[in-house]
Amino acid sequence: SPAGGASLRPCSTRVTLEGINKPVIDRIIRVDHAGEYGANRIYAGQMAVLGRSSVGPVIQQMWNQEKDHLKKFNELMVAYRVRPTVLLPFWNVAGFVLGAGSALLGKKGAMACTVAVEESISDHYNSQIRTLMEEDPEKYKELLQIIKQFRDDEREHHDIGLEHDAEAAPAYSVLKTAIQLGCKAAIFLSERI
């Protein structure tokens, strides 16, 4: 043993799992990872269609934040030893198709998609915040901070979408409702599978 009796064990990216509600944390991290993965694929699809347009830099800025979110959830998956959803290959394709498809409707269509998705995700994050606060706000302090920050980022993306004429998209309310139903289904499935 080195001087002072300290052990020289390698640093670990894992967190202490003692006393946590593992099934709840697994579901939260799994679905949030899937959601951030899907968001990345949506923005990739939008950039494939609109990347060189006037709205390209706005989409890129939001996508960059989503990349940071996904990176963090990749780290949390390892730290908490959570397996990803088996639906990632499906979300890979579905996210890109949704992003590119909405972008084919033009800037307003892409922004309508952003509003719908980001509203669904921020509502979902609020629900998770309530769950963790009821469980033990001190025990889940770090995870709560992350989810609150990401929720705030998603709200910002939502507002950017509104500022860029999302509500003027063709059949906005139908499009928004359809996308949000898809988000709810994706959340339900990704928590469980």
Q: Does the structure show a pLDDT above 50 at 6?
A: no
Q: What is the pLDDT of residues 100-150, one digit of tens each?
A: 999 999 999 999 999 999 999 999 999 999 999 999 999 999 999 999 999
Q: What is the pLDDT of residues 139-159, one digit of tens each?
A: 999 999 999 999 999 999 999
Nearest to 76 by CA among 110, 114, 36: 36
Q: Does the structure show a pLDDT above 90 at 11?
A: no
Residue 18 is predicted with a pLDDT of 82
22-191: CATH topology? Ferritin (1.20.1260)
CA distances from 57 to 51, 62, 95, 104 (A): 7, 9, 20, 17
> Mean pLDDT across the chain, nearest whole number?
93
Residue 15 is predicted with a pLDDT of 63
- Give the mean pLDDT of 162-182: 97
How is residue 53 annotated by DSSP?
A: S
Which residues lie closer than 8 Å to 13 by C-beta, 6 or more apart? 75, 78, 79
Angle at 135 between CA 130 and CA 137, to 5 degrees: 75
User: Could you tell me the residue ranges of all domains in the chain?
Assistant: 22-191
Q: How far apart are CA 162 and CA 171, in angstroms?
A: 15
